[in-house]
Amino acid sequence: MSLRFADAASDTIDLLVLAQDDVKDWLEGQPPAVAAWVEANGFTGSIGEALVIAGADGLPTTALAGYGTPQSRARGRFALAAAATKLPKGNYRISSGLSTEQAETEALGWLLSSYRFDRYKTATPMAAKLIAPAGIDAQRVEIIANGEALTRTLINTPASDMGPPDLEKAARDLAAQHGAQIEVTVGEDLLASNLPMIHAVGRAADRAPRLIDMRWGDHGPTLTLVGKGVCFDTGGLNLKPGASMGLMKKDMGGAAAVLGLAHMIMATGAHVRLRVLIPAVENSVSSNSFRPQDILTSRKGLTVEINNTDAEGRLVLADALALADEEKPDQIISMATLTGAARVAVGPDLAPYFSDDANFVAALESSAVAVADPVWRMPFHTPYETMIEPAIADLDNAPSGGFAGCITAALFLRRFVTDSNYAHFDIYGWQPSTAPARAKGGVGQATRALLDALDRILTK
């Protein structure tokens, strides 16, 4: 679905965004009938409150949306979106109450609130539509909203319709939309192309594993995005229990995130040479599944002892990262729904990331606040390197002990990037319960912050 602002119309309804502290002063300047109506309906300006005011002809002329207090807004994001979903059908224009910066963020939240995943069931469209607020970059906001919608739809689609061939098709469609080049290596050709761990993880599935390689742009700094595309994760021979397998359609959330970010980069015409690498596999159970205690040799030549076949994401990412690093791009970023340890550490709402580049960290942290896309820095703690070094191979894919799981996974990945600046995001990719602008289901994380920070990240 396409998310866009409404066109201006003669029946536009003015929308006043009122913080709680401003309601009393505003009421004092209103006609008695209006003040009585607002008070009778109990409008206080709290987040999520919405009220329509009719004119003499009974038709709505003005609407109020609560904007809460600085303290209540700090407890969440997209405060206006909480009211937008309660407004009746109509085209709304924000007439007062927000700065240009606030209006841009809240306008994005409004568009994201109108996202519906309707592939399998008819969904009721959001009634209230927003006219782009004055002063904002409406085209950019629409691009970002649609990049996020792409990510959500890819994650929400079940593995029956989002296996490796379907993920490839999504990437091909995106490449065609933006005039990008794309190559895909499938099945046994992965071995011939020296991508052995991608092949090993995906070989047990009926739908063949593959590496998707998309390129766009012919000038500017070089940026490579690597997204984990495990379209379903049974855990392999270390089979997950049913409760842990229920959300594994989202294990390609890293791939979905980088495709959403790629759309944002290409559609905004960012000054960058972009490469997107997605190892797309299913971790299935069959007679030729890779096994615990197998030793796999990676593209980089490092050997990996398999101590848990359910720690497969880092294996497919490792080959893709080694391939990315061979071109020595200015920046490599990997995104993956990689570890449960990251969720224990920061919960579902924060996107933990790893980077030792002060320029990258400063740019990302600033942008994350500016665009309401929260992140949290985690350490590449080098003393933990010994935890990923088993006795009989170079690396262990699942260190015992249970400590620092997201850090050891990130350290494992870092071993495959030696010549490029590298950052890794261990995202969740799922909204567990509906919140303003974020319906329950698949969700993008850190992509808007990365887009905003891109120029500063790539300017060394």
Q: How many CA atoms lie within 13 A of 449 on its CB side?
A: 25
Query: How many separate domains does the chain show?
Result: 2
DSSP H/E element including 225:
strand 222-227
Question: Do 442 and 295 lie in a common domain?
Answer: yes
Please indicate, yes or no, if residue 344 is contained in any of the structural domains. yes
> Strands 222-227 and 331-336: what pairing?
parallel
Report pLDDT for 9.
Answer: 78
Cα Rg, the chain, nearest whole Å = 24
Please indicate, yes or no, if residue 82 is contained in any of the structural domains. yes
Question: Do 272 and 394 lie in a common domain?
Answer: yes
Contact 227, 296 (CB under 8 A): no
Considering 114, 129, 158, which residue would you say is the last residue of a domain? Answer: 114
Please indicate, yes or no, if residue 127 is contained in any of the structural domains. no
Extended beta strands in 55-140, E state:
60-66, 90-96, 128-130
Question: Do 103 and 147 lie in a common domain?
Answer: no
Report pLDDT for 460.
Answer: 63
Please indicate, yes or no, if residue 248 is contained in any of the structural domains. yes
Q: What is the pLDDT of residues 93-115, one digit of tens each?
A: 999 889 999 999 999 999 999 99
Question: Do 360 and 424 lie in a common domain?
Answer: yes
Report pLDDT for 166.
Answer: 98
CATH of the domain at 361: 3.40.630.10
Question: Do 84 and 193 lie in a common domain?
Answer: no
Q: What is the pLDDT of residues 414-453, one digit of tens each?
A: 999 999 999 999 999 999 999 999 999 999 999 999 999 9
Question: Do 174 and 105 lie in a common domain?
Answer: no
Report pLDDT for 338.
Answer: 98
Question: Do 215 and 350 lie in a common domain?
Answer: yes
Phi and psi at 431, nearest 5°, equal -95, 110
Phi and psi at 44, nearest 5°, equal -120, -5
Q: What's the chain's average pLDDT?
A: 97
Task: Find residue 212's DSSP bridge partners.
Answer: 184, 278
Question: Do 91 and 150 lie in a common domain?
Answer: no
| % residues pLDDT > 90 (the chain) | 95
Q: What is the pLDDT of residues 372-417, one digit of tens each?
A: 999 999 999 999 999 999 999 999 999 988 899 999 999 999 999 9
Please confirm, yes or no, whether 275 is among the known catalytic residues.
no
**pLDDT confidence bin for 202, thresholds 50/70/90:** very high
**Annotated active-site residue in 73, 240, 343, 456:** 240
Q: What is the pLDDT of residues 220-275, one digit of tens each?
A: 999 999 999 999 999 999 999 999 999 999 999 999 999 999 999 999 999 999 99
- Tokens linked to 294: 């197998």
- Tokens linked to 98: 């927000």
**Annotated active-site residue in 203, 207, 249, 314:** 314
Question: Do 65 and 151 lie in a common domain?
Answer: no
Q: Is the pTM here over 0.95, yes or no?
A: yes
- Tokens linked to 317: 């990412």
Q: What is the pLDDT of residues 19-72, one digit of tens each?
A: 999 999 999 999 999 999 999 999 999 999 999 999 888 889 899 999 999 999
Question: Do 151 and 99 lie in a common domain?
Answer: no
Question: Do 100 and 198 lie in a common domain?
Answer: no
Question: Do 239 and 105 lie in a common domain?
Answer: no
Eight-class DSSP state of 150: H
> Strands 60-66 and 50-54: what pairing?
antiparallel
219 three-state secondary structure: coil
Residue 314 pLDDT more than 90? yes
Quickly tell me which residue has 């007439």 as its tokens: 95
CA distance 77 to 108: 11
Please indicate, yes or no, if residue 161 is contained in any of the structural domains. yes
Please indicate, yes or no, if residue 299 is contained in any of the structural domains. yes
Please confirm, yes or no, whether 75 is among the known catalytic residues.
no
Eight-class DSSP state of 5: P
Which residue segment(s) compose the domain that 61 sits in?
13-114
Please indicate, yes or no, if residue 3 is contained in any of the structural domains. no
